């Protein structure tokens, strides 16, 4: 730690222009961040370390991103963070910024505080109702017996955070909370010992309960907002079959893959790395990256990406980018950057909260001194200063704006909109034109078949074939036929051929659901029953609420336009 402290206090070194291009980014999880003061401390002090150019904090993710020279390794960066009084972990060790032990402690503290609060409040009702004499003193002692262990246990999240901050000569939001709760408890115990008229154990425990409840809700909110990134990264294949130089096949975790390895990707398998197809032909479901439901053909020389699904046939892929270098990981980083960005209102709140905590301490001290000078006595002056410490907690000021931004960004992500910079949310108030993509935005993004050309037998055969195929058109056809109550026919010798279709036999007759023999300008399949040919046309229907959406935009004075890469006639249709 001594080395870390020496590193942290070094003066910043100017990085020459030719070296600035070589700066690298490293991210660490910092579970101990509690408030805007912690954010300010990290972002202000870390750039003072020699070799660190910039530090950006994502509070919702409990993560700090450092931009630094390559010579600074992870161990030295962790030392610099720890020198400021924070625990730091590699992102790989705690990818979602979660501390399960801390979360369990928080939930237990809420339960203990709630139990203590309810019991002390029952005793306090009698005191408030006018009980006096021995009864009042007995209830004060019973309240003290319950409150002191409850406060000692339930207040640990605040006390530990405040002690760590003070031991590193800084303050955070937990310092005034801890001082206020401890002073209120100490004063109440003094009143109980001396037979005073008032004790405030109920108020101290109730304050802890509500503060802990707020912190628990904040933890739940952060967990939900981070679930989007976890779900996104979960789309990446967890492992891959790797072909060795001697021809052996070994199953390896995605983290163990290196560029140059040859992966054997089975039909229906999700890719674990970005790469290039070197053997085989198939169709790839790349909808998670492109938003397009239509399959993309893949053959030798085609680029494929982690998280996409190989639909039709086995292929061999040479890995080019793995783990954190994949396109999928880059999208996750964009989501992180959205949380790290500082919009105008976030910056205003940060600056205000940075000076707010010292101002609160100063105000509480001035209140105590002022009332003492006014002749109120130390008891009344102390009560007023405690009230100042408790009611002026700036947590909402420092955290409400970024929390609202993160929640809004993740709500939009669940609707398919990725917010790269928080300023985009603020600039929405200035928007005068809205441009829509067509496929998957104005339309459902799911092919819907026209079944009018299918009789009962043809529908049953088509359903039997479609149920044996992974192709999106086949899936859409199967869903539509099942919704119409069609029962699948019994087919045998089912074979799916990449790029051609699915073939089988029905009662001695060759049947197939295949690619049309003639080129078409729109999605379609061809059902073959012996020599019979039936064209099945597909359309991507508009969303049912699009007309109402456009009407509401018009009422708001917003002009709507359409952007699409499709043909003009398809767009106009």
Would residue 99 show up in a list of annotated catalytic residues for this protein? Answer: no
CB 1 within 8 A of CB 86: no
Please return the burial class of 448, using the count of CB atoms within 10 Å of its CB with bins 0-12, 13-18 and 19+: middle
* Count of CB atoms situated within 10 Å of the CB of 531: 7
**Separation in Å, CA 459 to CA 67, 246, 304, 513, 523:** 60, 49, 35, 11, 18
φ, ψ dihedrals at 307, nearest 5°: 95, -20
Catalytic residue among 99, 102, 437, 566: 437
Q: In terms of DSSP bridges, do strands 24-29 and 63-68 run parallel, antiparallel, or are they unpaired?
A: antiparallel
Whole-angstrom Cα distance, residue 481 to residue 49?
Answer: 65
φ, ψ dihedrals at 347, nearest 5°: -65, -40
Whole-angstrom Cα distance, residue 369 to residue 381?
Answer: 7
Instruction: Provide, for the chain, the percentages of residues in helix, strand and coil under a 3-state DSSP scheme, each rounded to the nearest 5.
Output: 50, 20, 30
CB 49 within 8 A of CB 10: yes
CB 33 within 8 A of CB 46: no
Please return the burial class of 301, using the count of CB atoms within 10 Å of its CB with bins 0-12, 13-18 and 19+: exposed
Whole-angstrom Cα distance, residue 185 to residue 200?
Answer: 7
Beta-strand (E) ranges in 130-273? 239-243, 249-253, 262-265
Of 556, 569, 566, whose CA–CA distance to 431 is shortest?
556
Q: At 33, is the secondary structure helix, strand, or coil?
A: coil
Q: In terms of DSSP bridges, do strands 433-437 and 524-529 run parallel, antiparallel, or are they unpaired?
A: unpaired
Task: Give the ranges where 16-83 is alpha helix by DSSP (H).
Answer: 17-20, 36-45, 74-82
The catalytic residues are: 437
């Amino acid at each position: 730690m001594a080395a870390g402290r020496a590193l942290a206090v070094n003066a910043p070194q100017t990085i020459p222009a030719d070296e600035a291009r070589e700066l690298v980014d490293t991210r660490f999880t910092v579970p101990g961040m509690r408030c805007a003061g912690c954010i300010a401390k990290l972002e202000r002090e870390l750039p003072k370390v020699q070799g660190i150019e910039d530090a950006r904090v994502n509070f919702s993710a409990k993560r700090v991103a450092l931009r630094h020279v390559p010579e600074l390794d992870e161990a030295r960066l962790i030392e610099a963070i720890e020198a400021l009084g924070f625990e730091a972990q590699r992102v790989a060790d705690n990818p979602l910024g979660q501390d399960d032990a801390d979360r369990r402690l928080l939930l237990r503290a809420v339960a203990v505080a709630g139990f203590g609060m309810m019991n002390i409040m029952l005793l306090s009702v009698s005191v408030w109702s006018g009980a006096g004499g021995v009864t009042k003193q007995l209830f004060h002692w019973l309240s003290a017996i319950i409150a002191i262990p409850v406060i000692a246990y339930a207040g640990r999240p605040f006390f530990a955070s405040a002690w760590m901050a003070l031991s590193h000569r800084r303050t955070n939001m937990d310092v005034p909370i801890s001082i206020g709760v401890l002073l209120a408890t100490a004063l109440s115990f003094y009143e109980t010992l001396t037979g005073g008229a008032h004790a405030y154990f109920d108020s101290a425990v109730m304050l802890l309960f509500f503060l802990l409840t707020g912190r628990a809700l904040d933890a739940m909110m952060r967990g939900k907002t981070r679930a989007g990134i976890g779900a996104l990264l979960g789309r990446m294949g967890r492992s891959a079959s790797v072909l060795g130089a001697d021809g052996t096949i070994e199953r390896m975790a995605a983290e163990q893959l290196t560029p140059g390895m040859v992966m054997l990707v089975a039909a229906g398998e999700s890719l674990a790395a970005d790469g290039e197809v070197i053997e085989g032909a198939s169709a790839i479901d790349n909808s998670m990256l492109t938003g397009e439901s239509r399959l993309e053909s893949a053959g030798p020389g085609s680029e494929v990406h982690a998280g996409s699904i190989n639909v039709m046939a086995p292929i061999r892929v040479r890995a080019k980018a793995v783990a954190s270098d994949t396109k999928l990981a880059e999208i996750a980083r964009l989501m992180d950057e959205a949380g790290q960005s500082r919009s105008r209102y976030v910056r205003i709140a940060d600056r205000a909260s940075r000076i707010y905590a010292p101002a609160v301490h100063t105000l509480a001290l001035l209140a105590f001194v002022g009332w003492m000078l006014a002749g109120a006595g130390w008891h009344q002056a102390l009560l007023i200063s405690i009230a100042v410490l408790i009611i002026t907690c700036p947590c909402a000021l420092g955290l409400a704006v970024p929390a609202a931004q993160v929640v809004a960004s993740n709500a939009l992500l669940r609707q398919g909109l990725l917010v790269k910079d928080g300023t985009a949310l603020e600039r929405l108030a200035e928007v005068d034109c809205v441009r829509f993509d067509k496929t998957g935005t104005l339309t459902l993004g799911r092919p819907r078949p026209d079944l009018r050309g299918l009789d009962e037998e043809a529908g049953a055969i088509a359903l039997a074939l479609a149920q044996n195929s992974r192709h999106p058109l086949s899936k859409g056809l199967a869903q539509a036929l099942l919704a119409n109550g069609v029962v699948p026919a019994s087919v045998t010798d089912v074979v799916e051929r990449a790029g051609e279709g699915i073939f089988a036999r029905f009662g001695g007759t060759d049947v197939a659901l295949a690619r049309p023999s003639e080129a078409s300008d729109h999605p379609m399949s061809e059902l073959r029953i012996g020599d019979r040919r039936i064209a099945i046309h597909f359309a991507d229907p508009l969303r049912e609420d699009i007309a109402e959406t456009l009407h509401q935009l018009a009422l708001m004075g917003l002009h709507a336009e359409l952007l699409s890469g499709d043909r003009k006639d398809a767009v106009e249709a």
